[in-house]
Structure 1
Amino acid sequence: MTWKSATMRQYLFRSQQRGVPVPVASWDGRSNLYTEAQLKERLVAWALVAGLDPAEARA
């Protein structure tokens, strides 16, 4: 992602407050790594909490 780490932390924190599950990341000693499947699942969960159609959120 092109976000700075502070931006990503803020989005993850807000997601947790809103009840969107945050995937468990792999730590490589420098960065948290997420699989494509984990990010897609999170996007669907976020869309449902936001009241959006998950199919449209993937576009």
Structure 2
Amino acid sequence: MPKHHIILSEKDIARIINGEEVSVEVKGEVVIIRQSYLKDIAADMLIRTNRVMNTASNTFEY
């Protein structure tokens, strides 16, 4: 089965973090990438080197 890699720039990642969408074209089809509207059922058990901080609420987002 062929693999497709979608490469995001720092600007693209910042757009997703801020609630926007990023669209890319793969084999003639438009693919929209966005953050899920649902929260994860379980907390992330890993301690990650880099985390995203929500500066509005001063909390970490994974």
What TM-score comes out, normalization by structure 2 length? Answer: 0.27
Q: Highest relative contact order (Cα 8 Å, sep 6+), 1 or 2? A: 1
Structure with the higher strand share, 1 or 2: 2
Larger radius of gyration: 2
Bigger share in helix: 1
